[in-house]
Amino acid sequence: MKITNVQAKRNNQDFKISLNPWYQCRSHALRTTPLAVMLILLSAPTLTTQSTALAADSTSIPVPQPTAAQMAAAGLNELPVAPKSKRVDLVAPAFPRVPSVTNPLFPIGKLESVVLNGVVDGKPFRTETTLMQETQILEWIPGQRVKVLVSQYTAYLDGRLQEVALDLYAQGDDGSVWYFGEEVSDYARGVIFTSEGTWRAGKDGPIAMIMPARPKVGNVHRAENIPGVVFEEVTIERTGV
């Protein structure tokens, strides 16, 4: 995977992101950061933590959606979201018992560690994304338990630790990649000052599609879908570029 360019604006403005030469999208997001990045592959450190019993087989099932009242309460009722007819994330596929994320547009299961270097507000910016050796099991809806991969994201701004997050992902049998939660710790002067943006599927809200199996122009999916906590809707603008 080659990351070529990421551009963003804050405060619910549109931003464009090109994750590789074959995929480009527009997104409405609550928390975004402008980046200009370069990709470097490294080896992953060893880290293990306890996980629970094996997940049961899952089935294809509709994904619960926030109500109009919930969107309004979060101040998102004026956001120009897409109609359901454009959405490709309203039904979750079955998930395998053994997690493996190999979607070529989001191959988090194959990238042991990635370093992105760039500039934010004129200051050096660096992120490190590492695939952990642990897995977790989440029951995101009653009776639907899925084993997920854990990816650690660490960000540094001007040489200082800015954020550490643990992201949870799983790939469906159809090849789409789904987001099952994020544990966020934001730092200032070396100490945690907020965990805003933390969520867990099944506890705080539904799972969200992070990458379609086969993106098509005009498709819409929500990479985060819990109004008042995290919300991001993505529209695919170009493919094959």
Domain range enclosing 51:
5-239
Q: Which pairs with CB-CB distance under 8 Å and at least 24 residues apart come from 219-226? A: 219/86, 219/88, 220/82, 220/86, 220/87, 220/88, 220/89, 221/87, 221/88, 221/89, 222/87, 222/89, 223/27, 223/29, 223/179, 224/29, 224/30, 224/179, 224/199, 225/63, 225/65, 225/66, 226/66, 226/199
What is the greatest pairwise CA distance in the chain?
49
Lowest model confidence (mean pLDDT) among 42-51, 190-199, 221-230: 42-51
Is the per-residue pLDDT at 78 higher than 70? Answer: yes
Is the per-residue pLDDT at 97 higher than 90? Answer: yes
Q: What pLDDT is recorded for position 146?
A: 96
Number of domains into which the chain is organized: 1
Is the per-residue pLDDT at 55 higher than 50? Answer: no
**Mean pLDDT of all residues in the chain?**
81
112: pLDDT confidence band, cut at 50, 70 and 90? confident
The average pLDDT across 152-176 equals 97
